[in-house]
């Protein structure tokens, strides 16, 4: 595929990092890490971690601190804007708890500043209020941190209009940061808890990417990253993204493979979200995606074990990211871009 067909501003050689979103309890984290180390020791599915420290126990934070020291993981502290959106914590409480945590934990690699994510169902008035709240709190919070932490901060760009996006970026222009985040993808599902990529959100992204070029800023995509939609993030020029969808999908009985839609393998009608995956289709999709791992070698085990699905899905996300980062030399990937990106320019799809 000729590089002139690429949709946005990505250059050959640019890389996109996957941050595994892991705001989990200590037992789940240990289970995931120990199984990966035992059964897939050569594959580094987790290189970067994002979690919300004010929503987990101190034990969880200690686990991540040890993992960073032992395995050199990059750790991003998320502010918890999603949990404000879900009504699990209010903005004032978040600000106080986050300020205390950031001040006492200077070992992280990235510190996300407080934000107020809008949803697709918010009125224009509410969206505008959230944008002002995001800008005000981000700057107030940044200014109370010492310089060592300030340079590690990630202010978040929110907005449903180009004017709101520009206002956010302009308000962060004087901050000593190298990376910003984008969180205003579309939302759906219960309490608007699922991010979706839509034509409108990608138009906003395209506009944002043109602006940040002038500031030489990297951009992180918050809360998105299904294997079929990751090429959109890559083509848009995102430096990194995070997703917890690999675990959430497993809980619904779903599995993912590189560059394929979500498929339901448990065949439980109360869980079913994706297409039903039969044993015959399973073999076909494995072959097409060129994915293989210990956890998907046995169809029945993958079907019956949620943890097998969790670990398989995590490896699939990691494999997809690696393929994208090396895709300019991959014939299969070029065919994928040509078929799915150019002809179906940003059709709306759910991100899990």
pLDDT at residue 333 in the model: 52
Q: What is the mean pLDDT of the chain?
A: 85
pLDDT at residue 130 in the model: 92
Distances (CA, A) of 160 to 119, 127, 285: 9, 8, 37
Taking the C-alpha atoms of residue 32 and residue 50, their distance in angstroms, rounded to an integer, is: 15
pLDDT in tens, 228-257: 889 999 999 999 999 999 999 999 999 999
pLDDT at residue 201 in the model: 86
Identify the helix (H) or strand (E) that includes residue 180: strand 179-182
pLDDT in tens, 329-338: 344 555 544 4
Q: List phi, psi (to 5°) of 250.
A: -60, -35
Q: Which CATH number is 3-251 given?
A: 3.20.20.105
Q: What is the 3-state secondary structure (H, E, C) of 95-150?
A: HHHHHHHHHHCCCCCEEECCCCCCCCCCCHHHHHHHHHHHHHHHHHHHHCCCHHHH
Summarize the confidence of residues 142-165 as an average pLDDT: 95
Least trusted range by pLDDT, from 100-109, 113-122, 141-150: 113-122
Summarize the confidence of residues 263-270 as an average pLDDT: 80
**What b/e readout covers 183-221, taking b as 16+ CB neighbours within 10 angstroms?**
bbbbbbeeebebbbbbebbbebbeebbebbeeeebbbbb
pLDDT at residue 346 in the model: 30
Strands 349-350 and 194-197: antiparallel
Summarize the confidence of residues 147-174 as an average pLDDT: 95
pTM of the shown model: 0.86
**E strands present in 192-340:** 194-197, 218-221, 240-243, 254-255, 263-264, 275-276
pLDDT at residue 171 in the model: 96
- Is the distance from CB of 279 to CB of 4 less than 8 angstroms? no
Chain centroid to Cα 255, Å, comes to 17
> Which residues, at least 6 apart from 246, have a Cβ–Cβ distance to it below 8 Å?
20, 256, 310, 313, 314, 316, 317, 352
pLDDT at residue 352 in the model: 32
- Is the distance from CB of 246 to CB of 317 less than 8 angstroms? yes
Longest dimension (CA), the chain: 58
Summarize the confidence of residues 95-100 as an average pLDDT: 94
Inform me whether the pLDDT recorded for 59 exceeds 90. Answer: yes
pLDDT at residue 328 in the model: 41
pLDDT at residue 9 in the model: 33
Least trusted range by pLDDT, from 68-82, 85-99, 109-123, 175-189: 175-189
- Where in the chain is CATH 3.20.20.105? 3-251
């Amino acid at each position: 595929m000729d590089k002139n067909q690429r949709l946005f501003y990505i250059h050959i050689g640019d890389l996109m990092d996957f941050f595994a979103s892991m705001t989990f309890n200590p037992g789940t984290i240990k289970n995931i890490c120990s199984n990966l180390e035992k059964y897939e020791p050569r594959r580094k599915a987790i290189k970067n971690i994002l979690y919300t420290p004010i929503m987990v126990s101190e034990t969880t934070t200690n686990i991540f601190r040890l993992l960073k020291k032992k395995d050199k993981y990059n750790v991003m502290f998320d502010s918890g804007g999603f949990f404000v959106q879900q009504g699990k914590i209010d903005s004032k409480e978040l600000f106080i708890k986050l300020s205390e945590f950031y001040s006492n934990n200077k070992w992280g690699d990235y510190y996300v500043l407080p934000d107020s994510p809008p949803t697709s169902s918010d009125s224009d008035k509410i969206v505008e209020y959230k944008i002002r709240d995001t800008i005000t709190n981000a700057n107030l919070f940044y200014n109370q941190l010492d310089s060592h932490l300030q340079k590690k901060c990630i202010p978040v760009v929110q907005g449903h209009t180009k004017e709101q996006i520009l206002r956010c970026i302009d308000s962060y222009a004087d901050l000593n940061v190298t990376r910003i985040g984008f969180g205003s993808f579309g939302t759906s599902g219960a309490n608007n808890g699922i991010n979706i990529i839509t034509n409108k959100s990608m138009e906003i992204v395209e506009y944002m990417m043109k602006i940040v070029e002038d500031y030489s800023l990297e951009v992180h995509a918050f809360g998105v990253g299904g294997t079929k939609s990751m090429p959109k993030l890559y083509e848009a020029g995102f430096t990194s993204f995070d997703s917890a969808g690999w675990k959430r999908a497993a809980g619904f009985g779903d599995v993912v493979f590189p560059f394929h839609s979500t498929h339901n393998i448990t065949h439980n009608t109360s869980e079913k979200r994706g297409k039903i995956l039969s044993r015959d289709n399973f073999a076909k999709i494995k072959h097409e995606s060129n994915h293989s791992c210990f956890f998907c070698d046995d169809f029945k085990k993958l079907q019956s074990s949620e943890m097998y699905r969790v670990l398989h899905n995590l490896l699939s996300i990691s494999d997809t990211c690696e393929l994208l980062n090396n895709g300019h030399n991959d014939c299969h990937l070029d065919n994928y871009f040509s078929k799915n990106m150019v002809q179906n320019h940003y059709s709306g799809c759910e991100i899990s």
